Structure 1
């Protein structure tokens, strides 16, 4: 049983597919299968159950996966901290983010951090959802992930940095554009451009609508808020979006507050705050300070 065996097994459990892990590792599916078979020989139990659309861990597999994931995360953090002790200020910080996170939340902080730590490498890994950020954080040597704060995730600590109010993006020639605010009841009469309901922010918005007793219609789904704004600008629908830092209406587009909706919490996710490498903590603190009201970077 090797560390590589355990890493591959945890990756397979999370992906639910031998072939997906093989593609990620740029190896053959047979090579991935050999890692799992070696673990099964040494433990004497079956660890994976084959299904028509992939694999799932057996009861024994879940026990091993949970223990291995915790151990690998702790070992990765220890190795990173040792590397920082050896390299001093020339280490690295690895961050998982969404597609537009850097521009909206981190631009000024990156400049400020680079001034203070010119020899540190910043490595960004783009994920398409908070769930993807969580998986990347748990299965690799990433330090931090910028996420929409949501339900607890095993092995992850979440910390809110800023709460974003919601606004309705409408064209300036729309009847709602002249209002100082939009009531949630107004949204029931229009079609919205929406994020997929399985996204954390999309699910939070749906839960807010449900709590307020409002049913909204939608015939368009997009992967990110910037695309929703673009479609609203093109006149292809209205979009309820979070007022992210630096968000400004484009020509022909107005952003009208929707104060009845509870704000969207966004911030950091880590495996363990108390084990975060010093350079990663410094970067997280720099971003947090830059998001405070009145911050200039």
Structure 2
């Protein structure tokens, strides 16, 4: 295999017309230049320079290699520029995974800020599988995923960055007797027909574990993995349910949303990233933007916490 550095020395000799001039340009001794060219000729298996008087000129093979070296040098320069842009976060691509209810609240705001700060970074944005939220990050198929922290914590090599605690609210038909209360004990919903609003996964686990702590298992009479549909069922009087604050944004009429206590179901939302990627400027910028968006939404989420105190 030909040595690129030696090829660049040859090109300097061909361009300058002599070993001495090439040595002065490169900061080498003439002897060192001659040794590099000789080594390259050995690698190529053919003469690259021929003497003409006190100077040298390239053979056909020498001209060919000098021309190819110019192309290689240009490609290397472009690669170095592209790499510098990537290191600085000016270019690149981020794969982001999220779940539905954080889309309009956290993700939209964070991506808008990222676009302002890193306009040439492309975003691959997709919904995640709620049952296995960390898998794509762990496998390196996604750079960041917004997840509800799994019961057993994160995977090795994956960091979970806390964004916010999202409390569940009781969703009641507007005429329900409990709708007159500001805060509802979870146990008071034990004998009610329930509308499911979560698919299998950590969010549903939070709901079921809270109900179990209150001494009952909910009797689901209808189910939807979409909050708007679930709230529609509640508004129609089919049952009651629990909906997280982020999922209750833009709720429909006919539904009373009330804080819950004893216990208060809370899903803890995190951004999951691989440990080794946090130094990437664009990814760090996205994480900062998500944390800012989470802080902006905190007053609405934390109001339930103040009700417990």
Q: TM-score, normalised by structure 2?
A: 0.61
**Cα gap change, 1:200 to 1:182, in 2 (>3 Å):** same
Could you tell me how far apart the structure 1 residues matched to 2:89 and 2:187 are? 56
Aligned counterpart, 2:90: 89
| Number of the residue aligned with 1:103 | 104
Show the 5 A alignment for 1:149-228: 149-150=149-150, 151-155=152-156, 156-195=158-197, 198-228=200-230
Q: Which residue of 1 aligns with 2:78?
A: none
Q: In structure 2, how many angstroms separate the alpha carbons of the residues matched to 1:139 and 1:274?
A: 13
2:251 paired residue among 219, 224, 249: 249
Does the Cα contact within 8 Å between 2:87 and 2:280 map onto a contact in 1? no
Partners of 1:83 and 1:199 in 2: how far apart?
A: 41
User: Residue in 2 aligned with 1:34?
Assistant: none
Q: Distance in 1 between matches of 2:166 and 2:298?
A: 16
Partner of residue 266, structure 1: 269
- In the alignment, is residue 277 of structure 1 matched against residue 280 of structure 2? yes
Question: For 1:74-130, what per-residue CA distance to the aligned partner results, in whole angstroms no more than 9, with x for missing partners?
Answer: xxxxxxx9686367412222111113331132222222222222222121121230x
Whose radius of gyration is greater, 1 or 2?
2
TM-aligned CA deviation for residue 233 of structure 1:
2.8
SS of the aligned residue for 1:280 comes to helix
Separation of aligned partners in 2, 1:279 and 1:117: 7
Number of residue pairs the alignment of both structures matches: 215
Matched, 1:240 2:248: no
* Shift, 1:185, TM fit: 1.5
Aligned residue number for residue 65 of structure 2:
none
CA shift for structure 1 position 197: 7.1
1:94 match: secondary structure:
strand
| Structure 2 unmatched ranges of 5 or more | 1-81, 300-309
CA 1:160–1:225 in structure 2 vs 1: closer, same or farther (change >3 Å)?
farther
Aligned partners of 1:111, 1:216: CA distance in 2, in Å?
Answer: 40
- Relative to structure 1, the CA distance from residue 246 to residue 183 in structure 2 (aligned partners, 3 Å threshold; closer, same or farther) is closer
Change (3 A) 1:225 1:82: farther
- Give the alignment's TM-score, normalised by structure 1: 0.64
CA distance in 2, matches of 1:248, 1:287: 21
Cα distance in 2 for residues equivalent to 1:206 and 1:144: 28
Q: Which residues of 2 match residues 286-297 of structure 1 at below 5 A?
A: 286-293=289-296
| 2:139 matches 1:135 | no
Structure 1: tracts of 5 or more residues without a match: 1-80
1:56-79 CA distances to partner (integer Å, 9 max, x unpaired)? xxxxxxxxxxxxxxxxxxxxxxxx
Structure 1 158/278 Cα, relative in aligned 2: closer, same or farther at 3 Å?
same
